[in-house]
Amino acid sequence: MGKYKLAGLWALAMTILDQATKLAVVAYLPHMGWEKIVPGFFNLVHVRNRGTSWGFLDRSDISWQIPALIIITIAALGFIGYLLKKTDEKDKWMISGLGLIGGGAIGNLIDRVRLGEVIDFLDFYVGKFHWPAFNIADAALTVGAGAVLVSMYIHRKNETDSV
């Protein structure tokens, strides 16, 4: 399978999964609603975020963050395309990672364009200590970044082994 097809399949799968789960959450839970799934560890919630990760820039008193985040995301998608073009066909870790990152970026971009905010719904916690709520797109971004790091480690190790 070619690199563009593999990355595209990952991106498409993550975008569809992200948007489908967000639609289900909106249909199932009212805004700011929650349901305990695994007591002491995991809740399903319905929260919105106008900002970025961990609520950075999530403020209603500033109006520039949504257009800025849309522009940044589009630029990042262009950079992902550039990196993919430069990636060797055999580097499945990098190709898959870029596809996952692209799919996550597209999933949250759809929310920002459509709603002016991102829907988050996964709430993991231990006792009173909560990880900030996130979504499938955020998970895809994180796993994709991990795959890119694995690729970089493998290639760095291969370069040092051949010296």
Q: Which of 18, 58, 111, 120 is catalytic?
A: 120
Catalytic residue among 18, 111, 123, 138: 138
Question: Active-site residue 120, yes or no?
Answer: yes
Enter the tokens of residue 33: 């609603």
Among residues 136, 139, 138, 110, the alpha carbon closest in space to that of 21 is found at: 136
Cα–Cα distance measured from residue 159 to residue 157, given in angstroms and rounded to the nearest whole number: 5
In sequence order, the β-bridge partners of residue 124 are 42
- The amino acid at residue 154 is I
The structure tokens listed for 21 are 């789960």
Residues with a known catalytic role: 120, 138
